Chain A
Amino acid sequence: MQFSYELKDSYAEVKSSGRLNMVAAPKLRELVSEVVAGGNSRIVVNLEETVFMDSSGLGALIGCLKAARQAGGDLRISGVQPQVKMVLELTNMDRVLAAYDSPEVAFSND
Chain B
Amino acid sequence: MTEILAERSFRGLATPEAIESVHNHLDAIWADAAFVPDTDQMIFTTAVIETAANVVQHGRPIGDEPVELGVELTVSATRLQAKVSAFHAIEPIVPYDDAELPDEDSESGRGLALIKALVTTLIFERQDETNTWILSKDSRPES
A91 and B113: CB pair below 8 A?
yes
B101 and A21: CB pair below 8 A?
no
Residue B118, interface by CB 8 Å: yes
Among A6-14, A35-43, A51-59, A101-109, the one that faces the other chain is A51-59
List residues of chain B with CB under 8 Å of any chain A CB.
Answer: 16-17, 19-20, 23, 42-43, 45-46, 49-50, 53, 56-57, 101, 104-108, 110-111, 113-114, 117-118
Select from chain A the residue with minimum beta-carbon distance to B54.
A55
Q: A23-B19, A87-B114 are in contact. Are A54 and B107 (CB under 8 A)?
A: no
Within 8 Å CB of A95, what residues of B? 104
Select from chain A the residue with minimum beta-carbon distance to B110.
A55
Residue A82, interface by CB 8 Å: yes
Partner of B110, one of A23, A52, A59, A82: A59
Within 8 Å CB of B56, what residues of A? 22
Q: How far is the CB of B8 from chain A (nearest CB, A)?
A: 17
Residue A63, interface by CB 8 Å: yes
Within 8 Å CB of B43, what residues of A? 86
Q: How far is the CB of B29 from chain A (nearest CB, A)?
A: 15
- Can you spell out 5 A-B residue pairs with CB atoms less than 8 angstroms apart? A21-B23, A52-B23, A56-B53, A59-B108, A95-B104
Q: A58-B110, A60-B107 are in contact. List 17 more A-B contacts (CB 8 A).
A: A19-B23, A21-B23, A21-B53, A23-B16, A23-B17, A23-B19, A52-B46, A52-B49, A54-B53, A55-B108, A55-B110, A55-B111, A56-B53, A56-B57, A63-B107, A91-B110, A92-B101
